[in-house]
Amino acid sequence: MKYCNAEEVLPRHLLTEIQKYVEGVQIYVPKGSGNRLGWGERNGQKGRLYQRNRQIRAEFRTGADIEELMAKYHLGYESIRKIVYRRSV
C-alpha cells in the first residue's frame, strides 16, 4: 500500500473537513468502484478455479463418480455436486 501525506494531495478545505472526523491516524481510501478488480482476478485464482471446475465436469462426464472426484480434488460432496450439475457458462 502506498503512503502519501494528505497535506500534499488534498485541497485545504477537504483536509479540514476530514480532520473533523479523524486526525493523526492513517485512513484507507479505497479505489473508485469503476477501478476495482473482481474477486480472484488480480492473482489468477478465479481462472484457476474455472479451469479446475471444467476439469471436474469433464471427468464426471467420462465416468468418474462424485466420491472419486471428492477424493481427488479434496472437496466435499455438495461442492462437487454443485460443480458437476451446474449449467456450463
pLDDT tens per residue across span 29-64:
877 777 677 888 888 899 999 999 999 999 999 999
Q: Which helix (H) or strand (E) holds 86?
A: none
Q: Give a yes or no: residue 38 inside a domain.
A: no
What total of structural domains would you count in the chain? 1
pTM above 0.85, yes or no: no
Q: Give a yes or no: residue 39 inside a domain.
A: no
Residue-range definition of the domain harbouring residue 56: 6-29+44-85
Q: Give a yes or no: residue 80 inside a domain.
A: yes
Residues 6+ apart with CB under 8 A from 13: none
Q: Give a yes or no: residue 36 inside a domain.
A: no
Q: Say how many Å lie between the first and final Cα of the chain, rounded.
A: 35
